[in-house]
Every structure is written in C-alpha cells, then in structure tokens.
Amino acid sequence: MLQMLANPAAPPAFPRVSPTAPDLRSASLSGPLLPPRTVVFLEGLARSPQYRVVDGCIATAQTLSDGRRQIIDLVGPGRLIGLGFGDQNRYSAETLGFTRLELVPDSLTPGERDQALSEMLARSQSLVMLLGRKTAPERVASALIDLALQFGRPARDRKRGAETFHLYPTRGDLADWLGLTIETVSRCLTRLKKAGLIDIRHGDLVTVLDQRELAGVAAGDRALSN
C-alpha cells in the first residue's frame, strides 16, 4: 500500500476526481465539497496556496523515488495545510473522505503563521518519537488517541470517557503514517478490539471504550495480549 498515487514527479492520476472538478481558487470562503482521494497539491510542484480544513480530513505525505510513502500528518478541522515552505511544495496533500477546504490568505498575520508552524513542528516531533522509539501497538494506540482528539465528537454513548470518531484513514493510510504495514495495523486494531479498549463499527466508526487503558498501551505501560 505504499503507492496509491502514480509517480509524484509526473502528472498524477487523480483518482475519483469528479468529472467537473471544482476549482478551489474560485471559492471565496468555504470551498466545495471535495470527494475522497482528491489531490489538493503535489510535492515538488510550484507552491500551492494555503487552506484551512473546514470539515473532513487531509493527509500530507512525502514519497520516495521508489514509491515508498510516508504520511507526514493527518489534518482535521480547523488546522492549516500548505504553509511553511519555499517556492515548491515539500509534500503532497490529499483528501481522505469528503472534505471541505477554505482558502486562507497568503498573508496570515505573523502570529497566526507562527502559531501554525509551531504546532506543525510539535506534531512532527511527536511523530518522530513515535516512529523512532515506539512499538507497533504503541503506535496504533497513539494514533487512535490523536484521531479521537482531532475528529472525536462528544459520543452518543453515556459511558464515561467513551468517544466516537469517524476513521478517515484506511489501514493503508495508517500504515504509511505509522511506519508499519497494513497487516500489522490490522492485527494491532484487532487486538485492541479483543482487549475491549476500542470498538469499530461499519469499518470506519471507532469508539474508544477505555481511554485510560488505551493511553497505557500508547505509553507502553500496558502490554497487549495476543
């Protein structure tokens, strides 16, 4: 699942782009609804404008010449993409699910830009720690906690701490984010389910059943039986 896109350098296949591809730039404030797997901009091409995610989810990723893909970040509502580089994009951005973007003026206030850059840096450093020093179950648990924070809603369940969110990334996306393979991600999720820490319904609706235990797994305090 390393290459979902064609060669990034060359004009890419635009999977499932609606025939009448909406022009983002023409949207004044809140743009059109982009279908899943829409490429917003591509690594290596001339620098794209900046967007704020209004609703949905964006994956930013870099790809090696041989096709290995690494997702740099999953970006949820309220956060920005497309800032912080020079004359060309340092990563690609793609929707994972129906997503609404909002064009952000190139001239953010220095404060806003600083804030956004700092947050991106902090998240990138967290990912470095995760990739460099955490085991597969720890990575998956950490990812779920992050996704719950970004995409979680108050949860319809009354259960204390139970939080439900829409899982935008596929197993392949999670693998490319967490430096694992699809199979390893799947196995970890299965074990988290069997341990009663999470539940997944309809394939993409995740409920965190035991937040403390999940955090324990993420921190390496709790093992995770087979």
Contact footprint for DNA (CB under 7 A): 15, 135-137, 170-172, 179-187, 189-190, 200, 202-204
Question: What SS3 state is found at 210?
Answer: coil
How many whole angstroms separate alpha carbon 159 and alpha carbon 100?
A: 31
Secondary element (H or E) of residue 111:
helix 110-133
Residue range at the interface with a second copy (CB under 8 A); choices 19-27, 95-103, 170-178, 198-206: 170-178
Q: Which is nearer to DNA, 113 or 193 (CB)?
A: 193
Assess 212 for contact with a second copy (CB under 8 A): no
Residues 83-142 that bind a second copy (CB under 8 A): 84-86, 90-91, 110, 113-114, 117-118, 120-122, 124-125, 127-129, 131-134
Structure tokens at 108: 């953010």
Q: Which is nearer to a second copy, 115 or 190 (CB)?
A: 115
Q: Pairing mode, if any, of strands 163-166 and 92-95?
A: unpaired
Q: Are 38 and 94 in contact (CB under 8 A)?
A: yes
Secondary element (H or E) of residue 150:
helix 136-151
How many whole angstroms separate alpha carbon 142 and alpha carbon 129?
A: 11
Q: Which is nearer to a second copy, 152 or 220 (CB)?
A: 220
> Which residues form the interface with a second copy (CB under 8 A)?
62, 64-66, 68-70, 72, 84-86, 90-91, 110, 113-114, 117-118, 120-122, 124-125, 127-129, 131-134, 176-179, 219-220
